[in-house]
Copies of this chain bind each other. A is one copy, B any other.
Amino acid sequence: MSITTPAGFVAAGLAAGIKASGALDLALVATEDGRAVPAAATFTTNKAAAAPVQVSREHLAATGGRVAGVVVSSGNANAATGPRGRDDAAGMCRLAAEGLGAAREEVLVCSTGLIGIPLPMGPITAGIPRLVAARSGGDAAGADAALGILTTDSGRKEVLVDGPGCTVAGMAKGAGMLAPDMATMLAFLTTDAELEPGPLAGVLRRAVDASFNALSVDGCTSTNDTVVLLASGRAGPCDADALAAAVTEACQGLAAQMAADAEGADRMFQVRVTGARSDGEAHRAARKVADSLLVKCSMNGADPYWGRVASELGSAGVDFEMDRLAIAYGGTAVCRRGVAVDHDRAAVAGHLAGSSVEIACDLGLGSGRGVVLGVELGYGYIDENRTTS
C-alpha cells in the first residue's frame, strides 16, 4: 500500500542533492492524468509562514480548491527567505506543472528542513523534471515519495484506510516540532471518493482537529506545516460523514506514528480530561498538561507525581475547582476531591514504566471531554534539538 493506492493517483521520490547525506529529498503526489481534482488543505497558523505555504495558499484560492499535484522538497524549509523564497516556491510549481501538463496554480508546494537558508535551486530545477518523469501508480513509487518528504524522521509514515465506498491513503513527515494550532508537520492524503472542494475542506478540518491538533511534542508551531487532501472521485460520490471518519482514522494513524517517532522520545502519554465545562475547555486543559515541561519530565522519569498534573490543570485558564478534581494513572485513582488517596503503588509504577501512559483527569464540573497525546522530555529531545549541525 502507498499514497497511490486510491485509484487515480501517481507518486515519485528521488534524491536531487538538497540533502548532503544523499537521501531522497524530492517527492511528488499527482493525479494520474494531470487533471486537477477537488482538494483541501490546512496550513500552519504561524505568521512567519514559509514561502511554499504562502504560494500554496494562493494557488488553492486561485483554483477554488482544485489540484493536479503537490511537489515537496526536504532538507531546507524555504522559510525566512523573503521574495526570493516566494519566487523559488512558485518556480517549483511551474516546473512540476509543465511536466504534468497542468496550470501552475494547480500545483501546490511544500518544503521542510532548516529555516533561513535560500533553497539550492540548481539541484531542484534539475530534479523536478526527473521527478515528474518518474511518477508511477506503483507502491515502490509511493514509498519513494514517502521517503522524499522526511527530515529527522526515523522512517516513512504511511497509512491506508478502507472506508465504506472509499479508500483513503496517507503519508506524513514529522518527528518533532509537533504542536497545537494546526498541522505542525507535513501530511498528504489521497482518496478515490468524489466530493466537491467545499465539503472536502470540512472533512479535512474535522480530521485534523481530531488528530494532528491533539498531539503535543514541544508546543512549537512550525513555519511550514501543511496537510493536503486530494480526491480523485474514481469511486464515485461519497457520504461526507463516512469520508470524514475514514480521513480522521488515517490522520490519527499518521499522528500516532509521529508521536511514536518524536525526536528522542520513547514514552508517549495520553491526557484524557473529562468533567470540564465544555469540550473546548477539556481540550485546552489536556493540552496544558501534555505541553508541560514538568509533566513531560515526570514521564521521562516514570514518576507518579500527580501534583504537577493538578498544578497545570489549575493554570490552564479553564473552570477548575481543586476540591472536585480526580486523577488516575492507567485506571488507578491517585487523587480524589483534590487530595491524595490510598492506591496500589505497584500498579501505578508498572503502568508508568510502560511505553504508553494514560493520565485521566476528571474536573467534576460538566460533561466536556478532550484527549491530547504527549511525549516525554528526556535527553533524546535535547540531543536532537540543541544544535542543527
Contact = CB atoms under 8 A, between A and B. Distances in A.
Given A307-B116, A311-B221, A389-B303, A320 B47 contact: yes
Interface stretch (A19-27, A90-98, A290-298): A290-298
Nearest to A380: B382
A275 B48 CA distance: 16
B386 A382 contact: no
Contacts of A315: 45-48, 181, 220-221
A81 interface: yes
B294 A177 contact: yes
Given A48-B310, A221-B315, A305-B388, A297 B335 contact: no
Copy total for this chain: 2
A74 interface: no
- Binding site secondary structure of chain A: loop
Given A81-B339, A315-B46, A294 B116 contact: no
Contacts of A312: 220
B314 A49 contact: yes
B340 A80 contact: yes
Interface string A298-327: 101111011110111111000011110100
Contacts of A49: 314, 322
Contact of A82 (B218, B294, B337, B389): B337
Contacts of A181: 315
Contact of A300 (B321, B323, B325, B382): B382
Nearest to A385: B297
A51 to B, nearest CB: 10
Interface in A338-389: 338-340, 377-379, 381-382, 385-389
B378 A382 contact: yes
A48 B320 contact: yes
Contacts of A84: 339
B80 A335 contact: yes
A337 B223 CA distance: 16
Interface in A34-56: 45-49
A314 B81 contact: no
A337 B48 CA distance: 12
Nearest to A85: B339
Given A45-B315, A46-B315, 16 more contacts: A46-B311, A49-B314, A80-B306, A80-B335, A82-B337, A114-B305, A114-B307, A115-B311, A116-B307, A177-B294, A220-B308, A223-B307, A293-B293, A301-B387, A303-B386, A303-B388
